[in-house]
Amino acid sequence: MSEAINRSFLQINASDNVLVALQDLPQGMLVKWQGRNLVLQEGIPAKHKFFIDALAPGAEVIMYGVLVGKTTMPIRAGALMTTENVQHASQDYAYRHANYEWTPPDTSALSHRTFNGYHRSDGRVGTANYWLFIPTVFCENRNLDVIREALHNTLGYSVTDKYKAFTAQLLEAYQSGVSLTDFREDELGVTTTGRRVFENVDGIKFLNHQGGCGGTRQDASLLSRLLAAYADHPNVAGITILSLGCQHLQSAELLNDIKSRNPAFDKHILLFEQQQSQSEEQLIKRAIRDTFEGLIAVNRQQRKPAPLSSLCVGVKCGGSDGFSGISANPAVGYASDLLVALGAKVLLAEFPELCGAEQNIVDRCTDEQTANRFMRLMREYDQQAHAVGSGFHMNPSPGNIKDGLITDAIKSAGAARKGGTSPVVDVLDYTEPALKPGLNLVCTPGNDVEATTGKAASGATLILFTTGLGTPTGNPVCPVIKIATNTALANRMSDIIDIDTGAIIRGEKTIEEMGVEILEYCIKAASGEILPKAVALNQDDFIPWKKGVSL
């Protein structure tokens, strides 16, 4: 879309038989549309859809130019789309030698731009410089928690100081006999996080998880490949591994997976086996001491200029609403096209949220092998879901539906716009690294944390995360930039939102203008000039996918 939106409703594609309300529209309102007069049969909340024509039961509902559902009852023109009168439906897909042609956006103004990143010996460039703690098994989570508290509080990485001060003052008020109903929170003088000791170490991160033993050996092997991907991540400078010793995921397997993934791996790596230690105290003190020495070493690394082609950007949406596919997602899609045109990598995942958009994606694949791999992974995933009585059609959450995403195909058609319009150069299974410049598809669930966990495993060094309802999701090693679809959300949850695309809905900015702004933010975040809110809050979400059914 090249024009700013400046109406109270919108037809996204010329073939759509529904319109999207951009603001609350009252019952009985007369809508003039292409020479016709529609009377709204009921109030249409902003973000929801209403029908242009009267439809019989079983009629196709078209949105974004694709099939997104079928009617379950007679529909009057001007009626609100609901889960009662429309059910999910999507078109079948197949490889059809589409010979897709793409016209890249003009990047002449960006061709000489750089970002300041951390250059690794294998040629990759990180947008941050982290030290990473990895447990091979959940038994070590408690030890990680103890080490986290010690290092974060002492070295200036804690973000909990203000809450400790808040709790201390609540305790003081209670002990002084002050009623907590009279306690004035806004009068608290809370402390702030201290200055970092290691200025060139952006964080010390911890991958607590619930795996490594129990379950199946296949689960442990997949977890090992995931942890190896994080150890090898361009944003990671050093690793401390804590192992119990008797678990399924042995330290040797993890080290082998790291070397298999990157034979040139040469980062600082420390390994501690608890069952080989004299005591828990000795283990923790040795891990802290040796890690401290490692931090001194990696702190000598400094940011240096790198071309924008060195970026690898994941695109994700979560807590989506009826504006996601109209404002934030297409704006991110334009930024994605700019990045691809500049030679960077873009990662589009969330396979359950590509349901209904498959044919467009298949047509954009650069060759038949790539298309076939995408179709195979999609069909296998959908079959797994149906085998347990579920399916992609059950993906929309109650919050999605409440804010206008009535079917999974509607949600997916809007979600797919994050990937822009460039050709699909590769399709990656979970944990596989992105090696080719351009748009890569990564097989992950739609679940926010499982998806961001998977994108980082494939090498994303930044993640653009759009949301219409608000979500605090972040990632331990990959900065997550939160983009609101609407200004009301951006104002209400300003503590977690980085960019507001509501100006698109109001008609004040075009999708292209907002896409350029998003890319400019990426350059600053990649250079460490600006800190995304999720990073500042230490929102380090990490959930491994066991390859079971997760939507």
Per-residue burial over 410-421, b = 16 or more CB atoms within 10 Å of its CB, e = otherwise: bbbbbbbbbbbb
**Residue 93, in any domain of the structure:** no
Q: Is 53 left (phi over 0), alpha (psi -120 to 50) or beta?
A: beta
Predicted confidence (pLDDT) per residue in 27-56, tens digit: 999 998 988 888 999 999 999 999 999 999
Number of domains comprising the chain: 3
Boundary of a domain, candidates 256, 285, 304: 304
Range of 420's domain?
Answer: 310-469+497-508
Q: Can you say how many angstroms the Cα of residue 433 is from the centroid of all Cα atoms in its chain?
A: 17
294 in a structural domain? yes
Question: Are residues 284 and 347 both part of a single domain?
Answer: no
408 assigned to some structural domain: yes
Q: What is the distance between the alpha carbons of residues 85 and 270, in angstroms, rounded to a whole number? A: 59
The pLDDT of residue 403: 77
User: Do 230 and 353 share a structural domain?
Assistant: no
Are both 292 and 318 inside the same structural domain? no
Q: How far apart are CA 93 and CA 90, in angstroms?
A: 9
Final residue before a domain boundary, out of 304, 325, 355: 304
Q: Is the pLDDT of residue 373 over 80?
A: yes
DSSP 356-392: T-HHHHHHHBSSHHHHHHHHHHHHHHHHHHHHTT--G
Q: List pLDDT tens digits, range 197-252.
A: 999 999 999 999 999 998 888 999 999 999 999 999 999 999 999 999 999 999 99
Q: Does residue 293 sit in the same domain as residue 429?
A: no
Tokens coding 249: 């995921």
pLDDT at residue number 548: 61
Mean pLDDT of the chain: 92
Task: Name the pLDDT band for 393 (thresholds 50, 70, 90).
Answer: low
Position 61 in a domain = yes
Tell me, yes or no, whether 300 and 317 share the same domain.
no
Same domain, 351 and 458: yes
Identify whether residues 296 and 391 lie together within a single domain: no
Q: In the prediction, which pLDDT does 7 show?
A: 76
Q: Specify if 53 maps to a domain.
A: yes
Under the banding of pLDDT at 50, 70 and 90, the label for residue 384 is confident
Q: DSSP E strands: which ranges in 371-523?
A: 424-428, 438-442, 462-467, 480-484, 499-500
Whether this model's pTM surpasses 0.85: yes
Considering the domain architecture, whether residues 354 and 431 belong to the same structural domain is answered as yes
Q: How confident is the model at residue 3 (pLDDT cuts 50, 70, 90)?
A: very low
pLDDT tens for each residue of 511-526: 999 999 999 999 999 9
157 lies in some domain: yes
Q: For residue 195, with 0-12 CB atoms within 10 Å meaning exposed, 13-18 middle and 19 or more buried, which class applies?
A: exposed
Structure tokens at 310: 């060195």
202 and 287 co-located in one domain: yes
Task: State the average pLDDT over residues 329-345.
Answer: 98
pLDDT at 428 over 60: yes
Q: Write the CB contacts of 100 (distance below 8 Å, at least 6 apart in sequence).
A: 363, 364, 365, 423
Q: Are residues 219 and 270 in the same domain?
A: yes
What is the model's pLDDT at position 198? Answer: 96
Tens digit of pLDDT for each residue in 102-143?
999 999 999 999 999 999 999 999 999 999 999 999 999 999
**Pick from 177-181, 236-240, 392-396, 433-437: least confident:** 392-396
277 with 356, same domain: the answer is no
CATH number (domain holding residue 71): 2.30.130.110
Residue 528 domain flag: no
Quote the pLDDT of residue 261. Answer: 97
Same domain flag for 318 and 292 = no
Is 492 a member of any domain? no
